[in-house]
Structure 1
Amino acid sequence: MGEKIRLDKMLSNMGKGTRSEVKDALRFGQVKVNGMTVRVGKEKIDSDEDEVTYRGEIVTYKKYLYLMLNKPQGVISATEDNHHETVIDLIDESYKHYELFPVGRLDIDTEGLLIITNDGELTHNLLSPKKHVPKTYIAKVEGVVGDADIDAFAKGIVLDDGYACKPAELIIDSVKDGFSNVTLTIHEGKFHQVKRMFEAQGGLVVYLKRTMMNALTLDPELELGSYKELSEDELKLLVQGVEINQ
């Protein structure tokens, strides 16, 4: 059994029109439930069991939407802004009725994996400090990162404001011409945290990209600025060990 929901609310939530437009469609016999014309919007339907058609088109009800976005530089992690393009501006108008928002934030000059959703409870759980959800980044750092840095990150870097970060996993991928390419996994999300962690060690991050959140990896086929709906398997990886709305 699925969720019991009013027919007119279901159609409106799925972006099929304003309440008045849906009311007109019902009145003119343009809505059917299990093949039968229904003209009363307050009738309850089962979101899983009942087949609803609107002007001949089957309407599938989804209460929550989960998108994977490959965020480009120059775009801010917000729902609206007067000066910059936001991650929500990158999403097609057909999703607008879901009232989406980003799960956390990536700095304006940081690329990579960002989840866009309308699931507030999941967002809270993924961002809760108590959950210790891991986030993995690849970074290019000006300066030579070495074994001493790996040890320092493992013990917990102390930031410029005195905050002691949780232990983090640092992997050195390559060092060349005074720059280090590294992979870093952290378990919290303080303001500019990755950059500040390397600054505390005397390094300067010149490129940063998030590649994983929890067990979910950024789809390598997803170009910068592009997005896709999470598959069921991908959603399971994202919420692994974290409570989620059903």
Structure 2
Amino acid sequence: MAKTQRLDKILSHIGYGTRKEIKGFIKKNSVRVNGTVVKDGSIHVDPYQDEIEINGETICYRDTVYIMMNKPQGVISASFDPQVETVVDLVDASYRVFDLFPVGRLDKDTEGLLILTNDGKFAHEILSPKKHVPKTYFAMIQGKVTEEDVIRFQEGVVLDDGYKTLPAELNILKSEDVSEIELTIYEGKFHQVKRMFEAMGKKVIYLKRIAMGDLKLDETLALGEYRELTEEEVGKLFYR
């Protein structure tokens, strides 16, 4: 990104309005740079060094956004869909100017940790098959999960299409007619967790992602709630 940018572009990028609306603010003497009223939105400024004010408010510029969401069931992991509610629809309009997209996907009926960003490089780092970023899930399983299942998951499970998964770590929390488990996988095949248990003759009846890499879901977030990641949390995913 260039060090300096057009002032109107900067203000538009972070959600203060269209270029036309920004022009209106400037006409009303509502925009200042380093304490001086600006008359021309085309001037170039450094958004990280210059102090920019609009309507008396000092802006905090950023070109990338990283959001943690506790995804609820019933919404899809997409940026836009004309018929179905998406995870981006759950985010406040002030964030939508950043053209957010989900990093990977969770099935419509799956809950839990989902990252939204506008940083393509960051998303690639997490999703690249070469990175093998671990993803951990809590699940409720119809059927008794046994130590034999643990061993088979460690060896890799052959799915319905013949693909053998990478070794996975299965931890049994409760082994009953409805079992509770935690599972860590190192890839992201279509419906992978569900298909792995189907290969064991069992059915996933509830699924929630609780971690990606070293980043754990903030359990204070109710379903559908979200917050921005801290720099430290971004680093837990973006260090590989």
Provide the TM-score with structure 1 as the length reference. 0.93
Structure 2 residue aligned with 1:219: 218
- Determine the C-alpha separation between the residues in 2 that align with 1:37 and 1:48: 19
In structure 2, relative to structure 1, the CA distance for the partners of 1:57 and 1:216 (3 Å cut) is: same
- Determine the C-alpha separation between the residues in 2 that align with 1:4 and 1:150: 55
Root-mean-square deviation (CA), in Å? 1.3
- Determine the C-alpha separation between the residues in 1 that align with 2:37 and 2:194: 59
Paired amino acid for 1:228: R
Paired amino acid for 1:110: T
8 Å CA contact 1:66–1:229 kept in 2: the answer is yes
Structure 1 residue aligned with 2:186: 187
Q: How does 1:159-178 map to 2 (within 5 A)?
A: 159-176=159-176, 178=177
Paired amino acid for 1:215: D
Provide the TM-score with structure 2 as the length reference. 0.96
8 Å CA contact 1:33–1:53 kept in 2: the answer is yes
1:76 paired to 2:76: yes
- Determine the C-alpha separation between the residues in 2 that align with 1:142 and 1:228: 33
Give the C-alpha shift of residue 155 in structure 1: 1.1
Structure 2 residue aligned with 1:152: 152
Unaligned segments of structure 1, at least 5 residues: 242-246
- Equivalences, count: 239
- Determine the C-alpha separation between the residues in 1 that align with 2:49 and 2:28: 24
Give the C-alpha shift of residue 60 in structure 1: 1.1
- Determine the C-alpha separation between the residues in 2 that align with 1:46 and 1:20: 21
Structure 2 residue aligned with 1:244: none
Give the C-alpha shift of residue 21 in structure 1: 1.2
Encode CA deviations 1:120-167: one digit per residue, 9 max, x unaligned.
Answer: 121122111111111100001111111111111111111100111111
Structure 1 residue aligned with 2:142: 142
Moved more, 183-192 or 16-25: 16-25
Unaligned segments of structure 2, at least 5 residues: none
8 Å CA contact 1:214–1:240 kept in 2: the answer is no
- Determine the C-alpha separation between the residues in 2 that align with 1:230 and 1:102: 14
| Secondary structure of the corresponding residue to residue 172 of structure 2 | strand
| Secondary structure of the corresponding residue to residue 21 of structure 2 | helix
8 Å CA contact 2:146–2:175 kept in 1: the answer is no
Structure 2 residue aligned with 1:45: 45
Paired amino acid for 1:147: E
Between the two proteins, what is the percent identity of the paired residues?
54
